[in-house]
Chain A
Amino acid sequence: MRKTPKGIKTRKFSWTTILLLLLFVLLAVLILIPFYSIFLASLRPSTEIMRQGIGLDIDLSIMSFDNYRHLFSGQTKYFTWFFNSIKITAVQTVLTLLVSAFVAYGFAMYDFKGKNVLFTCVLFIMMIPMEIIMLPLYQLTIKLGLMDSMWGIILPAVAGPLPIFFFRQYLSGISREFLDAARVDGCSEFGIFFRIIAPLMKPSFAAMGIFVGMNSWNSFLWPMIVLRSSEKLTLPIGLNSLITPYGNNYDVLICGAVFSVIPIILLFLIFQKQFIAGMTAGGVKG
């Protein structure tokens, strides 16, 4: 029996679709397994996890919300850490966006002596992993008296190279004649930035806000070095401090870990487009 060309085409179409679909479903399952298994683990007693590790099977006889009840009972520092993280993330995001946009505006809209040298410095920072200079930076932080304070975390990153780069790229699309019109109307240079340019930058603020915010919320190494007292820790550092060889804190640790991810995932599901734009913002071409 012969098939019409069209019939062959639809059949071919469906086969590749099915194969692709299978591949992607398999990958999606593999990616979701860790989420699923850590969530199951958060419902099991920690002694069980210490003895058996985590698995995929649901055993209702030992599962309960006891861990979460304990987490919310206020006997742990978990929510102190949670609010520390929110505070640092908020302050860091707002400050970094403001300062970086300010600097980027200077780079994008003016020609001045030393501009190229300075912008090379921005690229220079972008290329150097902060970890390489963390030893002297740590000593500097001690000298400046910024240890164990959130400013020790925020200030070194306040003029972020990537946000500066990104904003400059964004601003280069705005014509300078536009600014001259504002100047004729008697606007000062800073008035132009705050009244005219900043509102125009809203979409780029959203993308960079997510980029900076996510980095700050999940930041680990530098806050671990700077923060000392246990009531000042951020969430990742606090959770990490619960990891002991004896595993006596595993119930709080695991459900705390799960609970720390939930708000981010909810935010992501609502603002998906902005999240993806923000977290892949580094991909903009120079």
Chain B
Amino acid sequence: MGLKKNAAAVTKEPKAAAPKPGKERTNSLLYSQKLAPYLFVAPFVLVFAIFYIYPVISSIIMSFQEVIPGQTHFIGLTNYKRLFNGDLGQAVLNSVIYTLLSCAVVVPVPMLLAVFLNSKKMVGKNIFRSVFFLPALVSIVVAGLTFRLIFGEMPTALLNNVLSNFGIKPIKWLGGPAQWTTFFALLVLCCWRWTGVNIMYYLAGLQNISVELYESAEIDGANAWQQFRSITVPLLKPTFTYVLTISIYGGLAMFLESYMLFNGNRSPGGAGLTIVGYLYRLGWEQANFGFGCAVGICLLVATLTINLVQLKISGFFKKE
């Protein structure tokens, strides 16, 4: 295949009617419409090959090995047989619960808020928009530190202090005896960071809906709720799907929120252990690369499957 192409290129060159080979060569390179796209795309191909294909392949190989510096050897499927252990199960469970909870809040609520914010009756839109967006500018280190202090277990820490006004005793929020407190803290942090961003996505989506639709609906006597249900919701569906997709992605890949809230990857009883946290533990705390890669490969397959299914459902393949 490659040879054939070369041959074609060689036979074409004399036709370019220039005998001087050196300069003409670079010129024809610069002006060739056949070659140009490959040169433009080349950086991507390089990056993709070096930083994606190679790691994935080496990851597949390592997943069948016990990786010890100097004496790495193949151990067959042993790593994969070890997958079904309590810690990984806990990590997957935590990640899935977190994803479900966060999607239940951070996908529909911003949609409602965006609709309210977009309504003609609202005042001070720009100020609220800016305020809601502020948390997205803050690095997870600063956000995590702040929320760790807010959720402190001392009675004087912000949240416990506020709750004490209502007669509620201080709660050990992070890694306390009840699991829900940990999830609650993670969820609050998630809402704080992403509500504003998701509102912006929905607001952008709302701008694409023609005002005339609402006007004619109003003439037909549709009330606000009916307009919302039969115009806004169906026309916001693409935005909704997008926000849902990134929320699932973000939820399943969540690690730093827990890492920062628990001051490292060591929450008591694994309350804040997530899938990525588990990978991090295997790689950097236990230097267990072979097993880490086996977990990584399974996650890769799972992610791709979820994505393909989702694209299939959303009709992506039909369009192309």
Contact = CB atoms under 8 A, between A and B. Distances in A.
Contacts of B300: 128, 132-133
B134 interface: yes
Contact of B239 (A13, A21, A111, A283): A283
Given A28-B131, A31-B134, A128 B158 contact: no
B32 interface: yes
A64 interface: no
Most buried by B among A52, A56, A260: A52
A111 B156 CA distance: 65
B133 interface: yes
Most buried by A among B31, B134, B143: B134
B44 interface: yes
B149 to A, nearest CB: 4
A102 B156 CA distance: 55
A88 interface: no
26 contacts: A17-B122, A21-B124, A24-B128, A34-B143, A34-B150, A52-B156, A53-B160, A54-B150, A56-B158, A106-B38, A110-B36, A118-B41, A122-B44, A127-B304, A132-B299, A132-B300, A136-B55, A156-B47, A189-B31, A220-B140, A236-B139, A254-B145, A257-B141, A261-B137, A268-B137, A282-B246
Nearest to A254: B145
Main secondary structure of the interface of B (DSSP, over half): helix
A265 B139 CA distance: 12
A91 interface: no
B292 to A, nearest CB: 5
Given A129-B276, A131-B279, A112 B303 contact: no
B269 interface: no
A-B complex: 8 closest residue pairs judged by Cβ atoms: A106-B40, A53-B157, A110-B37, A136-B55, A53-B152, A189-B36, A218-B139, A129-B253
Interface stretch (B80-88, B193-201, B210-218): B193-201
A133 B39 CA distance: 27
Nearest to B200: A280
A136 B40 contact: no
Interface residues of B, number: 99
B136 A279 contact: yes
Interface in B18-76: 27, 30-34, 36-41, 43-48, 50-52, 54-56, 58-59, 62
A283 B54 CA distance: 30
A13 B116 CA distance: 13
Most buried by B among A51, A54, A131: A131
B146 to A, nearest CB: 4
Given A52-B154, A133-B59, A135-B292, A106 B41 contact: yes
A240 interface: yes
